[in-house]
Amino acid sequence: MTKTAERSIGSIVWEYVKLFGSALLIALVIKTSLVEAYNIPSGSMENTLMTGDFILGNKFIYGAKIPVLPIKLPAFSDPEPGDIVIFKFPLNPDQNYIKRCIAGPGQIVEIRNKRVYVDNELIDDPEFSKHTDRRVRDRGSFDSSRDNYGPFRVPDGHYFMMGDNRDNSYDSRFWGCVPRENILGSAMIVHFSWAQDENAPEISLSHPLSIFESIAYNLGHFHERVRWGRIGDIVN
């Protein structure tokens, strides 16, 4: 092989390295700064978001973080009441939560017999929200803050969050407000949705074959388990 041919091959390899390196860098920038995928592990946002939904979150709107550097770009806006917000759970920042913003800094939140008031004005329940328990827990009773709460003024730099599944959501009624620095992004769109199936075999480390059993079951029931009608839904 001539030196010219070796240089030519080396140039081609280098071009591929640059190409894949650039693609990886772009993907990293998009994931850390613009858009990121999240999955919904619980039913606290039903029926707006379902357990098994996979969503894309807009990280740019509330101020995107520059990869590697401890810098955030300026935010286009702050969370507004009604926004569905992704944030780091204040009691465990390693966990991401998703809830609906009910009120922002300085606003007063009160819940009277399950009805939500902000600044003493009744707030309509979101379109797909729900109550699953008709019982109303009176003030002073166990877990009374679920149905009767406040009035409470949201501190500066904080946001009050609630799940749309109002009787089955662990949210600001129980653990307090979310600091602005914990906000990650805003939910945009459902890009995939995988329904729960009680008959699906569980994967167990003590039973290695369970992995193949699970794969076989899910492949056989793939069409049934995918919620085709939810794919592409705008989250609001």
pTM reported for the whole predicted model = 0.81
Pick the catalytic residue from 59, 99, 129, 193: 99
Pick the catalytic residue from 11, 18, 31, 44: 44
- Quote the pLDDT of residue 57: 92
Helix (H, G, I), strand (E, B) or coil at 47: coil
- Quote the pLDDT of residue 20: 54
Q: Which runs of E-coded beta strand occur in the chain?
A: 35-39, 53-58, 84-89, 92-103, 108-112, 115-118, 121-122, 149-153, 158-162, 178-179, 183-193
Question: Can you tell me the distance from the alpha carbon of 28 to that of 50, in angstroms, rounded to the nearest whole number?
Answer: 28
Q: Residue 61: which domain range?
A: 35-194
In a domain, 166, yes or no: yes
99 is catalytic: yes
In a domain, 49, yes or no: yes
Q: What is the DSSP string of 153-177?
A: EPPTTEEEEE-SBTTS--SHHHH-P
Closest to 116 measured CA to CA, from 84, 78, 161, 86 = 161
- Quote the pLDDT of residue 28: 47
Q: How many domains does the chain have?
A: 1
Terminal CA-to-CA distance of the chain, rounded, Å?
Answer: 62
- Quote the pLDDT of residue 142: 80
Helix (H, G, I), strand (E, B) or coil at 4: helix
Q: How do strand 149-153 and strand 108-112 relate by DSSP bridges? A: antiparallel
In a domain, 210, yes or no: no
In a domain, 46, yes or no: yes
Question: Can you tell me the distance from the alpha carbon of 197 to that of 26, in angstroms, rounded to the nearest whole number?
Answer: 37
In a domain, 236, yes or no: no
77 is catalytic: no
In a domain, 71, yes or no: yes
Question: Can you tell me the distance from the alpha carbon of 118 to that of 58, in angstroms, rounded to the nearest whole number?
Answer: 26
In a domain, 17, yes or no: no
Give me the CATH number covering residue 73.
2.10.109.10
Residue carrying the six token digits 């009160």 = 110
Question: Can you tell me the distance from the alpha carbon of 173 to that of 122, in angstroms, rounded to the nearest whole number?
Answer: 17
- Taking only the tens of pLDDT, the chain with its 236 residues reads 555 544 565 565 555 554 554 444 444 444 444 678 899 999 999 999 999 999 999 988 887 766 656 666 677 889 999 999 999 999 999 999 999 999 999 999 999 999 999 999 999 999 999 999 999 998 888 889 999 999 999 999 999 999 999 999 999 999 999 999 999 999 999 999 999 888 888 888 788 888 888 889 889 999 999 999 999 999 99
In a domain, 19, yes or no: no
